[in-house]
Amino acid sequence: MEPHLPPSGSALSAPDDVPFKAIVEQSLVGVYVIQDEVVQYANAVFAGLTGHTPEEIVGMHIRDLTPPWRSEDNLQRIRQRVSGEIPSMRFRTQGWHRDGYPVDVEVHGSRVIFRGRPAVAGVAISIADNVRFEQDLSHSREQLRALAASINEDREKQRHLIARELHDVLGGILTSIKLDASRIRRRLERDENREIADGIVDLAREAIDAVRQISESLHPSLLDHLGLVAAVRRQLGTFAERHGIECRIDATESPLPVGPARGIAAYRIIQEALTNIARHAGATRVHVAIRLDGPVLHVAVADNGSGITPAELERPSIGLVGMRERARDAGGHLEISPGLDGGTVLRLVLPPDGGAGRAP
Ligand SMILES: Nc1ncnc2c1ncn2[C@@H]1O[C@H](COP(=O)(O)OP(=O)(O)OP(=O)(O)O)[C@@H](O)[C@H]1O
Ligand SMILES: [Mg+2]
């Protein structure tokens, strides 16, 4: 059967025998006609949104059906449609329930001619569940963000503590063992005993180095003593050696006034960026730039590897999410994008510790 199509440009017209009244009255969405800012027609669902019956709502002014803080806006939207300025609108707003509370609704209404004069006819649905869901979701996100921030902070504190204990306590004990073993060695007469003592001294030296390395990887002491640039420079040196990747750093020689929280955030983000480069990029060159623009810290990490795809950027994975969270916790933001000549570029912007605008 040929579909019944109206000529293009004309209004869609339905066959005369469609039972519109039954459809409108049984509709699961609210249906209304408003003229002169007064409800002229409403089905049971529309009237029920504000706790009325259709008989009660017909004749009511829009001002009495919307909360005071929404009245002007809602009336303005009706006038814009009646005048033809904006013939059709779909928007979220609020109605006013007869028991005295606001109800969230979404409406879609258009200019029509009703009884020979302009009016607005349309549909409305309750979005109370959606609004509650959105509020819950945004609340949960906020809680999750706060949780991630506090976990990060606790983790850094713990790492700092363990690093210090390892370095001071275990490092101290091992140094004493090494010195004592050296003293014993000097007093030993037989060669084979000296060899054993030499072995103990060597082991103690290795253990001291290992403790220093573990302590340093838990918390970079250079960061506290010589600042971000020196710590990143050393990190890059180790990275270049371990992975055979050529690394370059652009930064001022003098320590930048970066602050401890911002320093550790930038350091950890660069650390994860380097780990990702080693694991995923297949790069041969890495370029890190660190500079202060006024009080704001700018860091860029660029590689010449395989590049990162939009899908990989969107996928919720711990590494990238963690980097973004760290940047956000520090009041800044992080952007990862394809490099101009291939590869991947990470750009990090961090305001001074304690928030933007504060002097470093
Ligand atoms: N520099 C890069 N070059 C190419 N691909 C990258 C780069 N950095 C990240 N990726 C891609 O983005 C994905 C997400 O990185 P992300 O750090 O979040 O996860 P991961 O390194 O796979 O695991 P982890 O959560 O342990 O860090 C990676 O799996 C990788 O495919
Ligand atoms: Mg990673």
pLDDT in tens, 145-157: 888 888 888 988 8
**What is the residue-wise DSSP string for 106-157?**
EEEEEEEEETTEEEEEEEEEE-HHHHHHHHHHHHHHHHHHHHHHHHHHHHHH
Average pLDDT over residues 126-146: 91
Last residue of some domain: 196, 218, 240?
Answer: 218
Average pLDDT over residues 314-330: 86
Same domain, 164 and 234: no
Query: Whose C-alpha lies nearest to ligand 1, atom 6?
Result: 308
Answer yes or no: is the C-beta of 312 below 6 A from any ligand 1 atom: yes
Q: Model confidence over 67-79: pLDDT tens digits?
A: 999 999 999 999 9
Q: Model confidence over 149-191: pLDDT tens digits?
A: 888 889 888 998 999 899 889 999 999 999 999 999 999 989 8
Average pLDDT, the chain: 90
Same domain, 33 and 87: yes
Last residue of some domain: 218, 245, 262?
Answer: 218
| Domain-located, residue 148 | yes
Answer yes or no: is the C-beta of 359 below 6 A from any ligand 1 atom: no
Same domain, 50 and 155: no
Same domain, 83 and 147: no
Q: Which of 21, 43, 17, 48 is nearest to 32 (CA)?
A: 43
* Residues 120/34, Cβ–Cβ less than 8 Å: yes
Last residue of some domain: 218, 237, 258?
Answer: 218
Using the mean position of ligand 2's atoms as its centre, give its distance from the Cα of residue 275 in Å.
6
Query: Whose C-alpha lies nearest to ligand 1, atom 24?
Result: 319
Pairing of strands 333-338, 344-350: antiparallel
Q: Model confidence over 194-233: pLDDT tens digits?
A: 999 999 999 999 999 999 989 988 988 888 888 999 999 9
Between 17 and 62, name the one with better pLDDT.
62
Q: Retrieve residue 141's tokens.
A: 């996100």
Answer yes or no: is the C-beta of 318 below 6 A from any ligand 1 atom: yes
> What is the total count of domains within the chain?
3
Query: Whose C-alpha lies nearest to ligand 1, atom 19?
Result: 319
